[in-house]
Structure 1
């Protein structure tokens, strides 16, 4: 977990992933993207590594978050639909809303049922190598 605007960390993580292609990294809390910070360089660096995925979660940690639909669209444009997963950050997410509301909000961000299945279940199962 780190902020995507911390380019030196993004570069180091990318180097680890290049050197260790079997290592699976899952970046937490959407990279803690803040609307007023330069995060696109970090997104670009990390998204080039096929063994890095990202969780769409943790908006409650961010002082100036992107609007959720804009954030998801941004992440999809960099990581594609197979390297993103929704996550609740339970119980911290309860600071802003109840658990059901978190997931209903995620569901409202996607119109395509196949994409919903990938982001809410299939990607996590595959990336975490669950049976």
Structure 2
């Protein structure tokens, strides 16, 4: 099994100021060693390490961890996709085959950034280098994301955290409609991850999370969905195994082949693991 979405960091309260005081449990360092025991117990044999900081130093940090930890099967790094030197930088990074794709934290940007032609051109350039791109956004940004995706018909894309629906209020109608539109693009995949932190951290219900899963599986199907944990951020709400068991319970309705797609083969195919 592959965990398609984990983070590692050496906590810096200034750089990592998005980790607020009420998220105290993750205001610490997190390395592959901290998750290896859990992975062994569950049977997860590999993970994709995803950037959490917007710098090429972050990409180098993840490469350093991967060189010492074989559990990291792929890296989603950061590079400036709007830079004039983008092709030069991608040529540089191409010598590190563990880098599978790139991400920018679009949830922190306004729509004019998402819709900027220079940004779209940068994402489009990734296809020339056989790189993927992770879409990280809030549900309120999905209309803009759909407009961006329309410009990228050949680029492999994956939506992180189901597009961060409002799992807390269960106001899912507009999100459902935008997910339906997004999923009509066959080059777009979706990670089932990150939902516990979009719900009431300590009082969410299984039904609330499964209502979100229903939408994702209805529109994407089991061929384009991959399991991710968003560890260690998930710890703000529950231990890793609680999230894994929740996903495992939901997918029990599917065939063994379909479950294997969600937990393994879709991520392997998408990230070329």
The normalised TM-score by structure 1 is 0.85
The normalised TM-score by structure 2 is 0.43
Residue 103 of structure 1 corresponds to 244
Residue 48 of structure 1 corresponds to 184
For the pair 1:122 / 2:265, whether they are aligned, the reply is: yes
User: Higher strand share goes to which structure?
Assistant: 2
User: Higher helix share goes to which structure?
Assistant: 1
- Matched-pair contact (CA < 8 Å) for 1:2–1:32: yes
Residue 19 of structure 2 corresponds to none
How much has 1:7 moved relative to structure 2?
4.3
Structure 2 Cα separation of the partners of residues 96 and 110 of structure 1: 21
- Matched-pair contact (CA < 8 Å) for 2:176–2:215: no
Note the alpha carbon deviations across 1:37-85, whole angstroms, 9 max, x for none: 5212311221111110111111133146872222222111111111111
Change beyond 3 A, Cα 1:96–1:63: closer
For the pair 1:33 / 2:168, whether they are aligned, the reply is: no
**Two-structure CA RMSD over aligned residues (Å):** 1.9
Q: Which structure has more RCO (C-alpha within 8 Å, separation ≥ 6)?
A: 1
Question: Which secondary structure state, in structure 1, belongs to the residue aligned with residue 152 of structure 2?
Answer: helix
In structure 1, runs of 5+ residues without a counterpart are none
Moved more, 63-72 or 118-127: 63-72
Change beyond 3 A, Cα 1:16–1:68: same
In structure 2, runs of 5+ residues without a counterpart are 1-135
For the pair shown, which has the larger CA radius of gyration, 1 or 2?
Answer: 2
